[in-house]
Structure 1
Amino acid sequence: MEQKQNKRFVLDTSVLIHDHKALEHFSEHGHDIVIPTWVVDELDRFKHEQGYRGVNSRKASKLLEKMEHDRRLRIEFRTSKEAEAAKSMESNNDLRIILCAKYVQEEHAGDTVILVSKDTNLRIKARACGIAAEDYKSDKIISSIADLYKHPKEVQIEDGAFLDKLLRDFNIVVDEWKELYGSEYYPNECCRFMLRDTERFALARFLNGKFHRVDKPQIPPKDKRREFASIHPINEEQAFAYHLLTAPEVHLVTLAGDAGTGKTLISLLAGAIQVKGDLYDQILVFRPNIEIGRSLGALPGTVDEKFEPWKQPIFDNLSLILRSDKELSAVFKKNGSKDKDISNAGLSMLLKSERIEISPITFLRGRSFNRKFVIIDDVQNLTPQEVKTVITRMGEGTKVVLAGDVSQIDDPHLDPISNGLAYTVARWQGQDIFGHVALQKGERSRLAELASKLM
């Protein structure tokens, strides 16, 4: 009988920083794990940092110490001496880790040795040295980016009475309409019901055995959009998003979409209206402080002043909302403000009244939030562990919105299916307090929409 080949995984530092529990994941599957000593050196160097890299380095080190007597875990300091160029290759830790994996491969010729790393270039160099190399896959629980961008479920129906009832009443009990089942519906799934051979349709959300009506968007003609002063959902995707954002029983909403699809604007609109209605005490917006293009270097001033450039996209969206609020406009006219100053005065008032707070994501750790409407922007640049940290900060009466565009990832160790946004969607689907919408139609301008598609 042929003996089953054993697998030995050599883990790179990037894996432990990305997921400090990676050691447990490999151990649970009965695999042998090798940690080069240079990985421990790098964890030691990063442990003093304040960000997620420092936190995960400290946690990974503690887990290494806890597991050091595990017979399947081995800390290795030896490297391959096979190549004459070995000494010249030992110029940096990446190459030392590769040579260590080469040594393990030579020592256990009958086993499959695999170097696991989040670093693409390290994997390429390892394969060039004859070592099998893989990305870390334990956090990739969706198979394709298409899983993030599924359209609302479309259901063809024969009976117009269903549409009439759904449009007339707020909800319909599913048991009364069993013939609609083409497949099972998961909680808060968005659906589009179309009456066969007609243009009639209705939008709905499924929850607790009922289809809840979703109000159709107000879609102005493109040449007359300037005449529509109020900010409101103007396509079906935005209508679904706004419905979930204002549904009190939904506590976590994820919005995935390209730039210009309205993720941040529709979230701020829903938050502002609900804070105004006293459903929440405050809007909190957290953003990663990641630059586009070349770094400007260290900025002068206080923390608030340093973070000012990252606040501007939120200010831009808030300005649009305030300009469309006639009641707010009337208040500022009474105070003598000119029309053109209304949005700036409104922003100043909101910030001074503490009804809205905009902060770097790094300031979230250790805080607890109750009765807040929390928006986390650019979540595609957060790791699954960071998103977990975010969500576990939330207390009673708080709604969390995670918005992001997986085509704009700036972290070299993340990809479209391993980032915090994709991970959250995959993990939370099926929970009755969670909803997800993919926004695919650009509304910022035709120029922006074409740029997103063509470039």
Structure 2
Amino acid sequence: MAASRLYVLDTNVLLHDPHCLYHFEEQDICIPMTVLEELDNIKDRQKMIAKEARAAIHAIDDIVRDAKVGQITKGIPIPSASGKMKLGKLMVFPDHELAFRKGYLPNGNEIHDNSIINCALHLQTTLSNLEVVLVTKDINMRLKAYGAGLNIVEDYRKDQLITDISMLPEGHRRIEGDFWTTVENVQTQRSGHEVYHKVSPDLLPSVYMNEYIYDDHDFAARVVSIEEDAITLLDLNREKLMTHSCWGVSPLNLAQAFAMHSILDPSLDMCIINGAAGSGKTLVALACSLEMVIEQKRFNKIVVTRSTPPVAEDIGFLPGTEEEKMTPWLSAIHDNLEAMHEGDDQPQSSVRYAIEKGNIQFKSLNFIRGRSIQDAIVLIDEAQNLTPSQLKTILTRCGKGSKLVVLGNLAQIDSNYLTAVTSGLTYVVERFKPFIGSANIHLNGVVRSRLAEYAEENL
């Protein structure tokens, strides 16, 4: 079957998913020469996306490596990894000379978008048998492309699991009224200090693993097993949840209590905490981490990294050791440590004690991605700026005896080619819903101050 579409890929699509070339089924793909130049410019720099640039270059090379002279501009068949699906062709188009032709956008060293748009415009004009589609994750570029006369411009959504951020699960579900009045049959059993209830799946439709359940009275529980004929709930003492303290920090609302419970639970390997600025994500995660390292001695250290683009790009230009370089970017950790000890006689001494006794290590993103971390609790802050591919790389670095706490705010994405629905944070929340060793909690409500709460709601 001949291709009916030709997809022209922007650089950010290849950076977002270096293996995207195999996701367009039987349709053809075009990569402008400008895109190859941008990938080459990124791959050798100390950027968070350098690894993705190199992976994309290798993916292209795997396809065109054995091409004959002149064949690459006409199209080379893309091999199917499984051999079961017929894929289209990949071509590289020399787009530089198009800027000098009448009717095309001006080009320049800093206007790479225009070159890529010109390429799509040229192919749209010359290839009447194909629908030419520009694929980019840059919203402004999509607007420019439409304004320049392109008929079809799309976002890359292969790894987008939801279409609206409101569909993202919160990790906790409220049952109106009294939950037990709706239960006709229940099997209750005790195992050590824990109490479990088996109830009918009809009572809790569409629940997922480790989702927290609560009602308007005193009931609170977590889903620990889902079977065809029964859902097993771990009964939680709601009063105990709300009064529990870690390193002097107690929850201010039920969502924070669920977050603390999930982080402290040794049966969970990963906790995803997302919520607005000031909702207490970092404070809760840090307090629980100190409790587990210093008091419970379950881990040997706390590894903290902040995964925003400037961290990995600019760290090399700062003086000092890796830890000293990371300090300006991880001031939020120091702020929260100071908040925990503000009532102490010597708060700065208490902060230093917590850092030393808790063995808190500030590491760059490159450290996390290149090592296997053992017997540590790893805090990844600002995870909303990671792509699914980047977050996958980090998750696979956690070794035996380690626990990962992923923190993020989907309303504060700094990446040029990520949105709330395509962020790696959103992707991981959806993908890990069935996993028995993971829980996600959305912290609703700003507890920082009434000013911060009003700004979050009204600005």
- TM-score relative to the length of structure 1: 0.83
**Once the two structures are aligned, what percentage of the paired residues are identical?**
30
Counterpart position of 1:76: 93
What is the deviation of 1:383? Answer: 1.6
Residue 374 of structure 1, CA deviation = 0.8
Identify the match of residue 387 of structure 1 among 379, 391, 402.
391
Q: Which amino acid aligns with 1:93?
A: H
Contact 1:409 1:415 in 2 (8 A): yes
- Other structure's SS at 2:49 match: helix
**Superposed, which structure 2 residues align to 1:4-403 within 5 Å?**
6-26=4-24, 29-68=25-64, 70-71=76-77, 72-77=89-94, 85-86=102-103, 89-91=106-108, 92-131=111-150, 132-148=152-168, 150=170, 152-155=172-175, 156-158=179-181, 170-174=194-198, 177-178=199-200, 181-194=203-216, 200-208=217-225, 209-216=231-238, 230-275=248-293, 276-288=295-307, 299-322=318-341, 339-341=344-346, 343-353=347-357, 355-403=359-407
Report Cα offsets for 1:199-232 as digits up to 9, x if no partner. x231110102421123426799xxxxxxx99311
Q: 1:361 & 1:445 partners in 2: Cα distance?
A: 31
Tell me what 1:223 maps to. none
What is the distance in 2 between the residues matched to 1:73 and 1:214?
A: 56
**Quick one: distance in 2 between partners of 1:450 and 1:159?**
38
Distance in 1 of aligned mates of 2:153 and 2:182: 56
Shift of 1:5: 7.7
Aligned equivalents of 2:20 and 2:266: distance in 1? 36
Quote the residue 1:423 is aligned against: 427
CA shift, 1:160, in A, is 8.7
Higher mean Cα deviation, 179-188 or 428-437? 179-188
Aligned to 1:446: 450
SS class of match (1:362)? helix
**Matches of 1:22 and 1:279, distance apart in 2:** 40
- Secondary structure of the residue that 1:406 maps to in structure 2? coil
Q: Residues 379-426 of structure 1: CA distance to partner in whole angstroms, max 9, x if unpaired? A: 011121221111111011111011110111111111111112111111
Q: 1:414 to 1:211 in 2, by over 3 A?
A: same
Which moved further from structure 2: 75-84 or 99-108? 75-84
Deviations 1:251-298 (A, max 9, x none): 011111001111111111111111121111111111135679xx9x96
Q: How big is the shift at 1:171?
A: 2.4
Distance 2:201 2:143 in 1: 53
Does the 8 Å CA contact 1:217/1:235 hold for their aligned counterparts? no
Partner of residue 225, structure 1: none
User: Which residue of 2 is the match for residue 432 of structure 1?
Assistant: 436
| C-alpha spacing 1:449/1:214, structure 2 compared with 1 (3 Å) | farther
> For the residues of structure 2 that align with 1:402 and 1:95, how far apart are their CA atoms?
37
CA offset at residue 157 of structure 1?
Answer: 3.6
Q: Report the 3-state secondary structure (helix = DSSP H, G, I; strand = E; otherwise coil) of the residue aligned with 1:370.
A: coil
> Please, what TM-score do these two structures have when normalized by structure 2?
0.82
Q: Secondary structure at the match of 2:274?
A: strand
Root-mean-square deviation over aligned CA pairs:
3.3
Q: Do the aligned partners of 1:217 and 1:239 also contact (CA within 8 Å) in 2? A: no
On the 8 A contact 1:149/1:256 being kept in 2, the answer is no
Q: CA deviation at 1:318?
A: 2.1
- The answer on whether the counterparts of 1:157 and 1:193 sit within 8 Å (CA) in structure 2 is no
Query: What is the alpha-carbon distance in structure 2 between the residues aligned to residue 299 and residue 354 of structure 1?
Result: 25
- Per-residue deviation at 1:190? 0.9
Number of equivalent positions: 421
Paired residues of 2:369 and 2:394 also in contact (CA < 8 A): yes
Q: 1:305, 1:414 → 2: CA distance?
A: 29
Q: Which residue of 2 aligns with 1:331?
A: none
**Distance in 2 of aligned mates of 1:418 and 1:32:** 24
Task: Check whether the contact 1:166–1:202 (CA below 8 A) recurs between aligned residues.
Answer: no
The unaligned stretches of length 5 or more in structure 2 are 68-75, 78-88, 226-230
Q: How far off is 1:88 after superposition?
A: 6.5
8 Å CA contact 1:217, 1:233 repeated in 2: no
Distance 1:442 1:78, change over 3 A: closer
Tell me the distance in 2 between the aligned counterparts of 1:66 and 1:5: 21
Amino acid corresponding to residue 345 of structure 2 in structure 1: K
CA distance in 2, matches of 1:66, 1:392: 24
353 and 83 in structure 1: CA distance in 2 versus 1, 3 angstrom threshold: closer
Within 1, Cα distance between the matches of 2:366 and 2:392?
Answer: 14
Q: In structure 2, how many angstroms separate the alpha carbons of the residues matched to 1:243 and 1:100?
A: 54
Letter in 2 for 1:423: Y
SS of residue matched to 1:307: helix
Amino acid at match of 2:162: I
- Distance in 1 between the 2:351 and 2:283 partners? 15
